[in-house]
Amino acid sequence: MSSALKSEDKWISVNKHSGKLLLRFRVNGFPKQFQIATKLKDSRRNRDIVRLRRDAIATDISLGQFDPTLERYQFRASAIAAPSIPPPESEGDLGKLWEMFTEFQSKQIEVTTIYSTYRVVSNTIERLPSRLLSDAPKIRNWLMQNTSQFMASKYLLRFDQCCRWALDEKIIKANPFEKLKIKGTKNSVNDCRAFTIEQRDAVIKAFESDDRFSHYSNLIKFLFWTGCRHGEAFALTWKDISEDCLRINISKSKNLLAIEKGTKNGRSRVFQCSVGGKLHELLLSMKLIASRDSLLFSSKRGHPITSSTLSHAWNQDQKKRIGVVKGLANKGEVPYLNPYVTRHTFATWAIASGNSPDRVAYWIGDDVNTVLRYYVHPEATKGECPDF
Quick one: pLDDT at residue 91? 60
Give residues with Cβ within 8 angstroms of 201, minimum separation 6: none
Quick one: pLDDT at residue 234? 92
Query: Cβ distance 35 to 74 under 8 Å?
Result: no
| Pick from 324, 355, 308: nearest CA to 206 | 324
Exposure string of 288-327, with b = 16+ CB inside 10 Å and e = fewer, is eeeeeeebbbeeeeeebbbbbbbbbbbbbbeeeeebbbbb
**Helical packing angle, 44-62 and 94-109, nearest 10°:** 70
Domains of the chain and any CATH numbers: 3-168 (no CATH), 190-381 (1.10.443.10)
Going by the DSSP 8-state scheme, the letter that residue 339 receives in this structure is T
CA atoms within 13 A on the CB side of 173: 3
DSSP string for 243-307:
TTS-EEEE-EEE-TTS-EEE-TTS--EEEEPPTTSHHHHHHHHHHTT--TTSBSSB-TTSPBP-H
Quick one: pLDDT at residue 151? 76
In this predicted model, what pLDDT tens digit does every residue of 134-176 receive, in sequence order? 999 999 999 888 876 777 888 888 899 889 888 888 888 889 9
CA distance 194 to 190: 9
Q: Reduced to 3 states, what is the DSSP secondary structure of residue 104?
A: helix
Quick one: pLDDT at residue 260? 59
In this predicted model, what pLDDT tens digit does every residue of 227-281 receive, in sequence order? 999 989 999 999 999 999 999 999 888 765 555 566 666 778 999 999 999 999 9
- The dihedral region occupied by 268, where left means phi > 0, alpha psi between -120 and 50, and beta the remainder, is beta
Report residues of the chain scoring pLDDT below 50: 1-7, 78-90, 110, 112-113, 185-190, 378-387
